Amino acid sequence: MVFGIVVIMVIAIAVLLRVSLMYASKITEKMMNGIFKDAEIIINKEAIPESWVKQAKLRKRIYEIFKPNSLNWEEKERDLMIKNLNKLIKYFKKCPFFKDPEPRTITLKLLKETGTKWKNNWQELEY
């Protein structure tokens, strides 16, 4: 009787562990796909990723509610986008998915060029 309960508990723990690992794997995969999708949108379409725009809109609402007399929102928005771009660049500097250094170098170069464009021509961007 006790042996049966122990076996059931071990099986239940094993199943829970397996489900947890599958869920963690799916979350990681979704995050990785998001990172590469953001880079692809920035490099190929020369656009700001939609997820970043949504994040900025949410922050704008928060600022409007809690800090209505704060600094120019457009500046804050630009700084947020450049901050996100810098995080992306930092990720790609250490990203383990590049077999050769050449694709990494090209990707970093294009992302840095985009950052320079954003800093200098923010008013002209459409998003």
Give the tens place of pLDDT for each residue, 17-26.
998 988 888 8
Identify whether the C-beta of residue 66 lies closer than 8 Å to the C-beta of residue 52: no
pTM of the complete model beyond 0.75:
no
Q: Which of the two residues, 126 and 55, has the higher pLDDT score?
A: 55
Kindly state the tokens that stand for 65: 């509610």
Distance CA 77, CA 55 (A): 10
Q: Are 52 and 35 in contact (CB under 8 A)?
A: no
In angstroms, rounded to a whole number, what is the distance separating the alpha carbons of residues 7 and 14? Answer: 11
The domain locations on the chain are 36-41+49-127
Residue 127, pLDDT > 70, answer no
pLDDT (tens digit, 9 = 90+) per residue, 50-75? 999 998 889 888 878 877 666 677 77
